[in-house]
Structure 1
Amino acid sequence: MMKYKVPTTPINYALWYTYVSEELPLLNERLEALIANNEICPPVQSASLYREFVADPKDATTWALRSSVDKMLQHIDQSLTDTHNDTNNFQKNVEQTFGEINNVENDALSFEEVVVLLKKLQGDSKKIHRSTAFFSETLATAKGEIESLKAALKKSQQQALYDSLTGLLNRHAFDTEVSAYLESQTQGLCLILADIDHFKSFNDEWGHLLGDQVLKVVGRKLNDSMRDGASAYRFGGEEFVILVPSSQLRIARHMAESIRKMIEKLSLKDKRSGETIKNITLSFGVVEYQPEESLSSFIARADTFLYEAKRLGRNRVLPL
């Protein structure tokens, strides 16, 4: 552990004790490959190995439950928003219909019969109005409670490692991992910053649910493309970052170009309309770490190339 500058935490002790015991050959194989590819033992990936091979099953269950709750809250939140809008529209329609009924002249009925009918309809309308108004208030209250739960869950997940939507490592994991690299091994460290082109249009045209599907499929493809110690993270929104240790700019750029070509071949089917969406592309900025460079400068250089790739027409990797 001293050789590879592994922090002396209980989790790391348990992981390396299991490694030395040689009780789990697959763990040994994975850990040795991790070190061979990175020349250090990345803390986030070490924690993943601990959770996969060493941790109590209850810990894994808790992790999975927290992820499921997060997904559930996202769906409930969207459903409540849609239902709230529907009830408001229904309320307006009822009021409009009631106004039209008040103007109906039916020569087949006596005046007294029309009055009775209108009063009955008026009473029914008031009941529906009260019902929908109460339901709207209930939904508003429930939505507020869900927002509070989401905020509490987000706070509890700040120390978590994975993004619940895409399954990729999250921003906190990236910050932890890249800091470890900068403190221990910066030779040949490359960073790839990627952003989904025209992502806002997916949400505007097809809805947020399809936008989430785009994020999921891109995240899955990025994760499947990782090799030789590279790790993919959801950086935020529709932006992703890939760390490529012990590499070269040329190699990292080639990786980005391979991913770009793979992503542009993707297609998704909208289950509601049956239409197929094919115009999914990524733009990339790629940099290699420079001696004594700060983390903010490292990321900013990649972001500059990414912005330029967008300006030149998107779906490209810079520098050339």
Structure 2
Amino acid sequence: MSKDNFALSTGYLKKVVPLLMKHQVPATPTNYALWYTYVADSDTDLSWHINESIQATGTLSETQCEQLYQSHFADKKVKEADDFQQSLQALALEMGNTMEDTLKDTDTFQNTLDKTFSQLSRVGEETLSMDETIAVVRSAVKGSNQIRQSTSFFKNQLADAQREIARLKETLAQANEEALHDALTGIFNRRAFDSELGALANSPPPKGFSLLLCDLDHFKNFNDTYGHLMGDQVLKLTAKRLSDYCREGIQAFRYGGEEFALLVPNRQLKGACRVAETIRASIDKLVIKDKKTSKKLDNITVSIGVAQFDKGDSIRSMIARADAQLYEAKNLGRNRVMPIP
């Protein structure tokens, strides 16, 4: 490295550290790489996204940093990791099912052998002497015992393998929980929501922010009528529609089950309610069809409760107000925003 390049890199690093401190971003290697690239202005698209977020919210949260790093630096590695995890999950499921079937077959085989040799031990051959008959029976019984021991050992081995597979599934499930994206819909999950809401509450944007809690109406009935696979498609379509409104710092999350949440920076109650009403109307226009029959299914609607973050507010109280407004929307007939925009 030349002296000029070294001096330039040192200058960039001196700018990165104050930015990390200003926006309360942890000094991790990935965040260094992200902000170093921003300071160096070597990725115009990345710089645009960071500037847009800072303009909308006044900061760049840890969740947003990770998302930008994945999209600009780690796309290929992340995709490979996701593909590997999916393959591993499929393998674990397939092996688990195979082990169960094999254990059942082994039990059946052992029972058949026991029954066969039990019958054989009672068979007498007129052409054989008593001593010869006894020798045949003893040999058969001995063989049966050996097979029983062999199958018993095999069953133990399979049981050990099953326990290992169960442990692997648990590890994968935990890894999914620790991820920031929902596995089904692809949008941010509850863990990311908690982190992002905490960051906004600790350092609110200049004009404050609001929370939208959205719940699909009569979703249980829809699942019972059309099945969970179709229900999953509805959740994906809803998440996609919510993602379409993730502009100017707005972020969408799967809050749990059929419930979603949106964080809307620089919008107080009235402005956030207008955003919520636009989203409600958009989801109401969704057309759901059964791909197998091309039959149009029941319309999907959503109820939305809105709350703004007030001075002296806590995360718990803000969520409680939004949840109360959501409950009121449900109580008044669903497919509406509360409070009324």
TM-score by length of 2: 0.69
Among candidates 220, 225, 231, match of residue 211 of structure 1: 231
The structure-2 alpha-carbon separation of the partners of 1:310 and 1:144, relative to structure 1 and needing over 3 Å to count, comes to farther
* Aligned match of 2:67: 48
2:54 maps to 35
Task: Indicate whether 1:152 and 2:171 are aligned.
Answer: yes
* Counterpart in the other structure of 2:245: 225
Asked if 1:9 is matched to 2:9, the reply is: no
1:197 matches 2:217: yes
Structure 1 pair 144–279 and aligned structure 2 pair: CA distance change class (3 A): farther
In the TM superposition, residue 18 of structure 1 has moved relative to its aligned partner by 1.1
Distance in 1 separating the partners of 2:86 and 2:40:
32
CA deviation profile, 1:119-150 (whole Å, cap 9, x unmatched):
xxxxxxxxxxxxxxxxxxxxxx9999887654
SS at the partner of 2:335?
coil
Query: CA 1:226/1:155 → structure 2, altered by over 3 Å: closer, same or farther?
Result: same
How many Å separate the matches in 2 of 1:290 and 1:180? 15
The superposition leaves residues 84-121 of structure 1 with CA deviations (integer Å, 9 ceiling, x where unpaired) of: 9xxxxxxxxxxxxxxxxxxxxxxxxxxxxxxxxxxxxx
Answer whether contact 1:285 1:306 (CA < 8 A) is retained: yes
1:58-92 CA distance string (max 9 Å, x none): 2442145436766x599x79xx8xxx9xxxxxxxx
Distance 1:40 1:68, change over 3 A: farther
Do 1:44 and 1:177's aligned partners in 2 also have CA atoms closer than 8 Å?
A: yes
Distance 1:308 1:35 in 2: 34
**1:149–1:271 CA distance, 2 compared to 1 (3 A):** farther
Counterpart of 1:262?
282
**Secondary structure of the structure 2 residue equivalent to 1:266:** coil
Distance 1:221 1:61 in 2: 27
Match of 2:306 in 1: 286
Q: Distance in 2 between matches of 1:204 and 1:175?
A: 31
Report the Cα offset of residue 152 of structure 1: 2.5
Question: Structure 2 matches for 1:4-153, cutoff 5 A?
Answer: 4-55=23-74, 57-66=76-85, 149-153=168-172
What corresponds to 2:204 in structure 1? 185
Which of 280, 303, 312 is 2:332 aligned to?
312
Amino acid at match of 1:287: A
Q: In the TM superposition, what is the alpha-carbon distance from 1:174 to its structure 2 partner?
A: 0.5
Are the aligned partners of 1:194 and 1:282 in contact in 2 as well (CA < 8 Å)?
A: yes
- 1:302 — aligned with what? 322
Note if 1:165 corresponds to 2:184.
yes
C-alpha contact 1:197 1:280 (8 A) present in aligned 2: yes
Shift of 1:20: 1.4
Within the alignment, does 1:234 sit opposite 2:251 as a pair? no
Unaligned stretches of 5+ residues in structure 1: 85-140
Instruction: Compute the displacement of 1:235 (Å).
Output: 0.3
Q: Aligned equivalents of 2:32 and 2:67: distance in 1?
A: 14
Q: Structure 1 residues 264-273 or 141-150, which shifts more?
A: 141-150
Q: 1:150 to 1:195 in 2, by over 3 A?
A: farther
Query: d(CA) in 1 for partners of 2:165 and 2:275?
Result: 41
**% identical equivalent positions:** 46
- Relative distance call for 1:259 and 1:292 in structure 2 (3 A) is same
Residue number in structure 1 paired with 2:110:
none
2:193 is matched with 174
Aligned length: 257
What is the CA RMSD across the aligned residues, in angstroms? 2.6
Please list the CA deviations of residues 5-37 of structure 1 after superposition, one character each: whole Å capped at 9, or x if unmatched.
Answer: 222222211110111122211111111111111
Secondary structure at the counterpart of residue 165 of structure 1: coil
Match of 1:108 in 2: none
Any gaps of 5 or more consecutive residues in structure 2?
1-18, 102-158
Separation of aligned partners in 1, 2:186 and 2:245: 14
Q: Over alpha carbons, which structure has the higher Rg?
A: 2
CA-to-aligned-CA distance 1:197-237 (integer Å, 9 cap, x gap): 00001110000000000000000000011221110000000
- The CA deviation at 1:159 is 2.4
Query: Cα 1:44–1:278, aligned 2, differ >3 Å: closer, same or farther?
Result: same
